[in-house]
Chains A and B, each alone.
Chain A
């Protein structure tokens, strides 16, 4: 539901950008402040309730225990609480649309002092309070989930499932949970301080300011303090969104190349390195804040350092594909699509990691183009790949392959059609966050490109209907799936389809092999399951 709300808001923005005077049915004119509300709520819903929730809370909760041979998560009741808390957070967020003044307009980053006072604009009253409360509720739900993931992974692995025999999906979920555990507490603290500034008159984030010539009661606070606290959470959040997709992609490239993953240990250490470095680079979001050039230099170097483990992962994905007997199934197409988007979106990262370039590009469309490709759509491709891959295990039926391929090509071409031109818009100087730029003379030449992006967005989103139809059609009419239709090796494919309540029907699996034993010389078939009798290492 969250993803459709988020997509709908993005469509409204795209329409307004190319036809700012158009009156929309039910909504009427989109005024500049409403445009900012759309930006805020689209970003917030997509980041928190889609990219953070679906890959970790959705697939992780279902498949992490099965992949490590456990009957359930360590604390099932807490797990349920985590789900309902997150749902409550979403309801509170949506409620912000319907209160007096509407939803807030301070952006998903909630920069103070705009977000820290009630009178800074429409939506900054009760709507903004609900926004903060929703994020706080979400943090609590996410922390309960992270607690469960970490305890389950450390304490409930089946006999023989050593850490270095865990599938890379499990490693990704595990490290993501650690990131969440360390990051969400900080966001929660920032939210509490913000609520106090807004409602109790404190001055943590608000300096001496005047509104309409009148001094407010605040003084001495620091907007930069908010930015530091927010981005200390915000940058790890990028990896919270994308690490599960990385794990998923690693899994699928091995399964459908019929080859062991290239450099398993390097992949594990790269995940750990990305997680660790993710906490060291928050300042690169703040180059515009006037920080000392020496500090900026340190953040810049650390940021470019993340390129190393990222490059290791990309190299290993390509190494896995090389000379593989590739099966171009729909999950594999989305996994390859993920690699493509990760490279295309990632390559602009080192541009923005350099303060000199970032100051030029920061407030342009270059930045949304970058983060949508790498954090947004790449992660969504991971979610699609996971859906096509695990659907047979969840529902006992295969998804329709033809529809899946149409869906892939619509999504893949559509994504590039939307976000590659956006890079050019940014480099040409098109500023972001403005609602109405069609009448600005120096940007006239870029209007056709904006229109092209809007058309591409419509076509791409229409393509998602194919997925929806396929999803529901396949649940009831799809071809019956065997217990292991992809001939994969991990433990979820050893149990019945769909898995019984305790995952393994009273049987406790024992693990003898690694997770990616494909094309093993001398083996009776081209894959050896993790629970099969032990084999000699093939590499």
Chain B
């Protein structure tokens, strides 16, 4: 029985020494995979995934840096000018319960994103098979997972905004206490990065409307999916940091 695979063949390219496994011949082309010298789908997918992996490193470093600042700042004493004594100004912030609901929304969106990735992967796999006369992919109802993911992503962002307003209503503004500064900083920076993911989903949707090739759309969705999962994991980390390390 024939099997369909749209993923890159494992290719242990990176090794040191004189007896390296040789890298495969590669193609060229632009970011969108258009133009002459277009590399094959597997090569483009592998390259895009590698690019994403590399791109996530500075995002990780950004939050590692914030975490280190969080830990250091938390332990710092400050001078009280009234008593002339060293005191701690770190007042823990009670996080709004809404953040838990937001977390659920983001996790659900991550599940939908994965379903969207599988959906387009299946489409790409079947595309070559259904081009054969007499072969049909069946009439399954297509659930718009990509759209649902985007909707949940926007819901999450709206939820975060509402949580900010709740914080402010409770008297915790950006500069109220160092802990509230970090709450706004970490949630805000995460939200900006998630907006990047929403934009990527929008690009995938537009690519679909513009009738870009299925392969191109599949790569965009695949890479966005990994980014989205990373954002979900990052949010859980941030929430744990704010809840348990304060």
Alpha-carbon gap, A183 to B64, bound state (A): 12
The answer to whether B13 touches A220, judged by C-beta atoms less than 8 angstroms apart, is: no
With beta carbons under 8 angstroms apart, the residue of B28, B54, B65, B189 that contacts A190 is B65
Q: Which residues of A contact B59 (CB under 8 A)?
A: 185
**CB–CB B26/A77 < 8 A:** no
| Contact A157 to B37, CB < 8 A, known contacts A74-B47, A219-B78, A220-B89 | no
Contact A71–B37 (Cβ < 8 Å): yes
Selected from A155, A181, A184, the residue in CB contact (under 8 A) with B13 is A155
Tell me if A204 and B69 are in contact (CB < 8 A): yes
Given contacts A202-B178, A220-B178, A225-B72, contact A154 B50 (CB under 8 A): yes
* Chain-A contact segment, one of B16-24, B102-110, B124-132: B16-24
For B23, the chain A residues whose CB sits under 8 A away are 155, 157-159, 161-162
Q: A72-B28, A162-B18, A196-B174 are in contact. Are A151 and B79 (CB under 8 A)?
A: no
Cα separation A75 to B50 with both chains bound (whole Å)? 11
- Which residue from B16, B17, B32, B185 sits with its C-beta under 8 Å from A192? B185
Per the 8 Å Cβ criterion, residues 47-97 of A in contact with B are 70-72, 74-78
Which chain A residues lie closer than 8 Å to B51 at the CB level? 74-75, 147, 151
Q: Are B175 and A201 in contact (CB under 8 A)?
A: yes
**Could you tell me the distance between the alpha carbons of A506 and B13 in the complex, rounded to whole angstroms?**
24
Name, among B27, B57, B58, B81, the residue most crowded by chain A CB atoms within 10 Å (CB to CB): B58
Which B residues are in CB contact (< 8 Å) with A193? 69, 185
The yes or no answer to A163 lying at the interface (CB within 8 A) is: yes
Mark A288-309 against chain B: 1 for CB-CB distance below 8 A, else 0.
0000000000000000000000
**A189 proximity list for chain B (CB < 8 A):** 61-62, 65-66, 69
> Considering residues A155, A161, A184, A193, which has the most beta carbons from chain B within 10 angstroms of its beta carbon?
A155
Q: Using a CB-CB cutoff of 8 Å, which residues 46-102 of chain B contact chain A?
A: 46-47, 50-51, 54-55, 57-62, 64-66, 68-69, 72-73, 76-79, 81, 89
Is residue B209 within 8 Å, beta carbon to beta carbon, of the partner chain? no
Total chain B interface residues with beta-carbon distance under 8 A: 50
Instruction: Evaluate contact between A155 and B50: CB separation under 8 angstroms.
Output: yes
A229 within 8 A of B: yes
**Chain A proximity of B237: nearest CB distance (Å):** 15
- Asked whether B3 is an interface residue with its Cβ less than 8 Å from the other chain, the reply is no
B57 touches A159 (CB 8 A): no
**A74 CB contacts on chain B under 8 angstroms:** 47, 51
- Distance between Cα atoms of A75 and B33 in the complex (Å): 10
Q: A182-B61, A208-B78 are in contact. Are A229 and B69 (CB under 8 A)?
A: yes
Verify A155–B178 contact, CB threshold 8 A. no
CA distance A185 to B185 in the complex (A): 15
- Given known pairs A147-B51, A181-B58, A220-B78, the reply for A71 and B175 (CB within 8 Å) is no
Choose one: A72, A163, A508; the contact of B15 (CB below 8 Å): A163
**In the complex, which residues of chain B have a beta carbon less than 8 angstroms from the beta carbon of A183?**
61
When chains A and B are docked, how far (Å) is the Cα of A178 from the Cα of B54? 9
Q: Is the CB of A185 within 8 A of B25?
A: no
**Interface size band for A:** 35 or more
Measured CB to CB, the nearest residue on chain B to A189 is: B65
Q: How far is the CA of A78 from the CA of B32 in the complex (A)?
A: 11
Q: Inside 8 A of B47's CB, which chain A residues have their CB?
A: 74, 151, 155-156
The interface bits of chain A over 161-195 (1 if a CB of B lies within 8 angstroms of the residue's CB, else 0) are 11110000000000000000111111011101100
Q: Does A143 contact B (CB under 8 A)?
A: yes
Does residue B10 face the partner (Cβ distance < 8 Å to A)?
no
The answer to whether the Cβ of A222 comes within 8 Å of any Cβ in the partner chain is yes
Beta-carbon contact of B61 and A75 below 8 Å: no
Known contacts A163-B16, A192-B185, A219-B78; decide if A502 and B69 are in contact (CB<8 Å).
no
**Contact of B26 (CB < 8 Å), options: A156, A219, A220, A232:** A156
Q: Return chain A residues, CB-CB under 8 Å to B77.
A: 220
Taking CB atoms, residues of chain A closer than 8 Å to B189 are: 192
What chain B residues lie within 8 Å of A181 (beta carbons)?
A: 54, 57-58, 61
Q: Is the beta-carbon distance between A203 and B62 smaller than 8 angstroms?
A: no
B60 closest partner in A (C-beta): A185
Q: Are B54 and A150 in contact (CB under 8 A)?
A: yes
Interface membership of chain A positions 206-242, coded 1 if the CB is closer than 8 angstroms to chain B and 0 otherwise: 0110000001010111100100110010000000000
CB pair B78–A225 under 8 Å, yes or no, is: no
CB-CB under 8 A from B31, the residues of chain A are 75-78
A502 touches B28 (CB 8 A): yes
Given contacts A74-B51, A202-B178, 14 further A-B contacts (CB under 8 A): A71-B27, A71-B37, A143-B55, A147-B55, A151-B50, A154-B13, A155-B47, A163-B15, A185-B59, A189-B65, A190-B65, A208-B81, A217-B175, A225-B72
Q: Which 3 A-B pairs have the closest CB atoms?
A: A185-B61, A220-B78, A185-B58
